[in-house]
Amino acid sequence: MEPLFADTAAIDLAVSLLHQGRLVAFPTETVYGLGADASNPDAVRRIFQAKGRPADHPLIVHIAHQDQLCEWAASVPDSALQLAAQFWPGPLAMILPKQPQVSALVTGGQNTVGLRMPNHPVALQLLAAFGGGVAAPSANRFCKISPTLAAHVAEELGTAVDLILDGGACQVGVESTIIDLSGKLPVLLRPGHITREAIAEALNTQVLLSPGIGTDSIRAPGMMAVHYAPTTAAVLCPTDQLAALAAQLSSTGQTSALLSYSLAAEAYGYDLGIKLPAQPEDYAHKLYASLRTLDDWQVALIVVELPPQTEIWRAVNDRLGKATKRASV
């Protein structure tokens, strides 16, 4: 499936396909989404089939206007309105109690639904023209690296998707922040570009962290222990152990490539590598595309320099922690 430049004619075609129950990949500011009419159970099933995604994993419904919240959420607390006013359109998904008519296929069988208004001109034009909610996880195979270019979608999903709208590179580069507003206090389920601190400041309240996998907490996209992973084995390695690991790999004849942010690969003894910016937002923007490039090099091991363990790196560290294992040097 060749991507189609997202002009008005292409968006009109995409709207028509969505109404027919077909799958359309489209850009958001975070990653490319694999979209279907969220009110059409057969269309939603096609998302799970195309991705190889387990049926108990909920989807996020994308909407064009804040006014559409009540169409999907049974109750909309003041906290949701405050966050929508400050961060929408933007990379923030809110978990709210669902309306009775919202399909269990969308919610993964839960009584809550995830809602988001993306901040991308193509996505907003598509959603406004479609008029309803579009369920859209990332447009890739389940647990693999999320796509930040239309070409990534074409390479991974091929003819499983009926149309790919090409809107250029995604600006943010990692998935949206997910905040659960269905309980007494907001709970951060997935970190993203919008930080826990920013949400706490906007609501003037404490924001809890999810107790994590294997608990009775709300399930949300990206909460698997392994996710966002390249096909090539990948490990996280602290900066002060990078040179020792390079020597260890060299002594056993294993080929490897380094994804770093401090120094270039050769400085640590690696022959191949990609150096990303040392600022978390710029790093996140390039992370998935870089992991895909490293995967294409078909080395025996991808080594990722462990980023700083600080709050502003939380989203990046979350993705890397699920895409890699810790190195043993």
**Residue 175, CA atoms < 13 Å, CB-side half-sphere:** 29
pLDDT reported for residue 226:
74
Mean pLDDT, the chain, as a whole number?
Answer: 95
Rounded to an integer, the average pLDDT of 81-94 is 98
Per-residue pLDDT for 214 more than 50? no
pLDDT reported for residue 227:
82
Domain co-membership, 199 together with 254: no
Where are any strands of DSSP class E within the chain?
4-5, 24-26, 33-37, 60-62, 92-97, 112-116, 134-135, 163-166, 177-180, 187-190, 208-209, 234-237, 256-260, 272-275, 301-305, 325-326
The residues, ordered by sequence, that sit 6+ positions from 72 with a Cβ below 8 Å of its Cβ are 38, 61, 63, 96, 98, 99, 102, 113, 115, 133
Report residue 228's pLDDT band, with 50, 70 and 90 as the boundaries.
confident
User: Is-contact 96 150, C-beta < 8 A?
Assistant: no
Domain co-membership, 165 together with 245: no
pLDDT reported for residue 213:
47
Q: Which of 175, 209, 243 is the last residue of a domain?
A: 209
Per-residue pLDDT for 327 more than 90? no
Per-residue pLDDT for 212 more than 70? no
Total residue count of the chain as it appears in this document: 329
Note whether residue 217 is domain-resident.
no
Domain that holds residue 320: 234-326
Report residue 216's pLDDT band, with 50, 70 and 90 as the boundaries.
low
Total count of domains within the chain: 2
Residues 129-181 have pLDDT tens digits of 999 999 999 999 998 999 999 999 999 999 999 999 999 999 999 999 999 99
pTM of the full structure: 0.95
Domain co-membership, 32 together with 177: yes
pLDDT reported for residue 169:
98
pLDDT reported for residue 106:
98
Domain co-membership, 159 together with 92: yes
Residues 15-67 have pLDDT tens digits of 999 999 999 999 999 999 999 999 999 999 999 999 999 989 999 999 999 99
CATH code for the domain of 96: 3.90.870.10
Domain co-membership, 173 together with 321: no
For the chain, give the percent of residues with pLDDT over 90. Answer: 91
Residue, of 180 and 228, whose pLDDT is higher: 180
Q: Which of 192, 209, 226 is the last residue of a domain?
A: 209
Q: How far apart are CA 146 and CA 153, in angstroms?
A: 9
CATH code for the domain of 254: 3.40.50.11030
**CA nearest to 173, candidates 291, 79, 6, 266:** 291
Per-residue pLDDT for 223 more than 80? no
pLDDT reported for residue 288:
98
222: left (phi > 0), else alpha (psi -120 to 50), else beta? left
Domain co-membership, 177 together with 28: yes
Residues 88-137 have pLDDT tens digits of 999 999 999 999 999 999 999 999 999 999 999 999 999 999 999 999 99
pLDDT reported for residue 328:
78
User: Is-contact 302 230, C-beta < 8 A?
Assistant: yes
User: Is-contact 69 232, C-beta < 8 A?
Assistant: no
